[in-house]
Amino acid sequence: MNPRHVLLAVSVAVVWGVNFVVIEVGLENFPPLLFSALRFLFAAVPAIFFLGRPRVAWRYVIAVGLALGVAKFGLLFVGMDHGVPAGLSSLVLQSQVIFTLLFAVLVLRERPRRAQLAGIAIACVGMVLIMLDRGLAAPLGALTLVIAAAACWGVSNTVTRHAKPQDTLRFMVWVSAVAVLPLLALSLLTEGVQADAAALRSIDLTGIGALAYLAFAATLFGFGAWGFLLRQYDASTVAPFSLLVPVVGMAAAWLLRGEAVGLQQAIAAALIIGGMACTVIRRRPRQQADSSEWMLTKSAA
């Protein structure tokens, strides 16, 4: 992965890390499914009139819209609303790396490098340390919803990699549009018309700001850039960058919500960053005879 793409992947991780604090703030103003629906409504509807039809088969747009927009974010928002705090959510959701790697191997027949597997293992040790330090204080059912959201993200990563959309921004806009009506319907059925109407009547600048961040920064920029990277590289190369998200999430929670970061969390963050470094290292061919095989690997990435 070239340095510019590494910087882009890190930028997405920063945006998504702060995203969890913003979600926590937004859930104080909206029911979870309505909040998720409004996020995609603001991200998609204005843009589709300017960008035109997606340049990819509709089956991929619908599949990612349901897996990512409806399932992943619906489950995440409900899980957080039922007691999983922002920091723990940012951590548990990164189990999507394991799901993405598994689906990429089973469906796309990708072969992760040893350095990638070692890096993920190191980073997972850091994630376990964070989890042990924080403790599993969240309700088991809510935590299960967040884990299920991670699995849905892995499905979305794999479908996006297979679709290889040429215009990732346009693709993400239409993915967002697909998610709006199912999320609104689920909100009306489970959260109720009265709760949704009350939230809309009492909306303030905090709620508008949370929606704007999620719609434009986390959705359009974040997933547009993420989809671009998945088109350029193996899913098993791109997905580990999301391991930086809980580090950023904890830092944002410390700065914006006053959550303390202890020594164990700092050590865990160092392990995660070290594991990330392992995933982007490629060994150069030592002999000319190996160069053709290396080039094939590079072109497949």
Output the pLDDT for position 74.
Answer: 95
Tokens 């050590």 sit on residue: 267
Q: Tell me: pLDDT of 243 over 70.
A: yes
Instruction: Round the average pLDDT of the chain to a whole number and report it.
Output: 82
Q: How far apart are the C-alpha atoms of 148 and 157, rounded to whole Å?
A: 14
Output the pLDDT for position 288.
Answer: 39
| pLDDT tier for residue 201 given thresholds of 50, 70 and 90 | very high
Output the pLDDT for position 194.
Answer: 94
Instruction: Tell me the whole-structure pTM to 2 decimals.
Output: 0.79
Output the pLDDT for position 286.
Answer: 47
> Which of 216 and 270 is assigned the larger pLDDT?
216
Q: How far apart are the C-alpha atoms of 301 and 238, rounded to whole Å?
A: 10
Mean pLDDT, residues 37-55 taken together = 84
> 161 near 104, Cβ under 8 Å?
yes
Q: Please, what is the end-to-end C-alpha distance for the chain in angstroms?
A: 9
Q: How far apart are the C-alpha atoms of 119 and 150, rounded to whole Å?
A: 19
> 82 near 189, Cβ under 8 Å?
no
CA-only gyration radius of the chain, Å: 19
> Which of 74 and 93 is assigned the larger pLDDT?
74
Alpha-carbon distances, residue 262 vs 130, 259, 265 (angstroms): 10, 10, 5
| pLDDT tier for residue 28 given thresholds of 50, 70 and 90 | very high
Amino acid at 123: A
